[in-house]
Amino acid sequence: MRKISIAIDGHSSTGKSTLARQLAESLGYVYIDSGAMYRAVALFALRNDLIDGSVNEAGLIEALRDMDVSFGLNSQTGRTEIHLNGENVEQEIRTIEVSSYVSEVAAIPEVREKLVKLQREMGRQKGVVMDGRDIGTVVLPEAELKLFMTAAPETRAARRYKELLDRGEDITYEEVLKNVRHRDHLDSNRAVSPLKQAEDAICLDNSDMGLKEQFERVRSFANRILNAKK
């Protein structure tokens, strides 16, 4: 069976990564979490004192040459996880502190240029599921299946809040909701590759949709395309 590329874009905390992992595992495809790559850059900036209230753009651009972002397979879980200069930082990039600077980091043209180049190299082969903010519009515009995921800000904040509490973070729902709305504004209004739905993408509002229903619906979209290619 011929393989396809699947691009999943959308707002923060809509479950893009969860759905992308499910699809990749179901189809036997490679999952690439582009959002984790930008989180890794934000973590890199924090660790190197390149953030003091806001991102030191000039300093970060200069330091990009010393930063390597890659994915490695976790032999215990069988999943690909993000590595920053050879270190597995899958957990470290999920904190609210990192989340607060991801959109700002992602708005820097030089950062996007470096990561988009890496993402295109990873997605050159078919059999890839990639999620992020500009996958269907910029990174993989030729993807056979494109999705744009959204949900009410309050719903997304509640999901994110639960995740952070389960992880042991000391955070309030109001702080998470503020962060979600702030990221929405930055993602949609940045000058370079703003968040927007590709013209040929399927919009999926999962405000009132369970994970099983969502997966089955999207898998049916993929099956339809795969069967049409036989």
Per-residue pLDDT tens digits for 82-103: 999 999 999 999 998 999 999 8
CATH code of the domain in which 34 resides: 3.40.50.300
Q: What is the pLDDT of residues 21-67, one digit of tens each?
A: 999 999 989 899 898 999 999 999 999 999 998 999 999 999 999 99
Annotated binding site for ATP: which residue ranges?
Answer: 10-18
User: Among 222, 33, 29, which Cα is nearest to 144's?
Assistant: 222
Q: Are 157 and 14 in contact (CB under 8 A)?
A: no
Q: Determine the Cα angle at 137 with ends 133 and 140, to 5°.
A: 95
The total of structural domains in the chain comes to 1
List, as residue ranges, the binding site: 10-18
Return the SS3 of 113: helix
* Residue span of the structural domain in which 219 resides: 5-228
pTM above 0.85, yes or no: no
Which H helix or E strand runs over 93?
Answer: none
Containing H/E element for 210? none
